[in-house]
Amino acid sequence: MYTADALARELNRALSRTVFHSICVTGRDALGNPEFLAAAFRQLSPACDIMVDTDGQRPESLAVMQPFLKLVQVTVEPPATATVLERGMETIRTAARTNCMHAVVIAGTDEASDADYLQIVEQTHDASNAAAIVIHPGPGAERGALDKRWSVLMEHASARHRDVRLLPRLNGPSTMR
């Protein structure tokens, strides 16, 4: 769809028109072609903070992307398989080793149990105690008020890791203004 040069020109055009906080590279396989992204980001003028939001399944891609990244965010949907979770945590460990800010977002599902959430919190803590963790409740919880389950879950999660946040997702008209 784009060449790295074309992407760089488009990003530079946008950056020249207004001030941006950062650029976010997102999608399940956001790091699927790190050489392409690195070639584009090398051409940014002025430099801009770059965040990647990924499923974490390509930790080896961070070696190519590390010079450009301000934040690596791994998004996990519970319940996650052991393999998926381990690859995501390797991405977090890799970001921590390179002193890149890093976070885990738990994108809740209605099928996820409290144990599923806490497993991700514990494994994130084991990977890096400097990681920020954001928990988004599943769609069922988002339709109504957050109940006692979530305050109890947060109590347990906060006992396991110091930086845990519970944030309902914004959907529908409130995000379209």
CATH of the domain at 30: 3.80.30.10
Q: How many domains does the chain have?
A: 1
Q: Does residue 15 fall inside a structural domain?
A: yes
Tell me the pLDDT tens digit for each residue of 81-100: 999 999 999 999 999 999 99
Give yes or no for residue 47 having a pLDDT over 80.
Answer: no
Tell me the pLDDT tens digit for each residue of 140-173: 776 655 678 888 999 999 999 999 999 877 765 5
pLDDT of residue 12: 92
Q: Residue 109: give the domain boundaries.
A: 4-168
Q: Does residue 74 fall inside a structural domain?
A: yes
Rounded to two decimals, the pTM is 0.89
Name the residue among 150, 77, 175 with its Cα closest to residue 167: 150
> Can you tell me the mean pLDDT for 106-124?
95
Tell me phi and psi for residue 125, to 5 degrees. -60, -40
Could you tell me the two tokens for 90? Answer: 């390797």
CA angle 66, 29, 36 (to 5 degrees): 55
Give yes or no for residue 77 having a pLDDT over 70.
Answer: yes
Handedness of CA 104, 161, 123, 96 (dihedral sign): positive
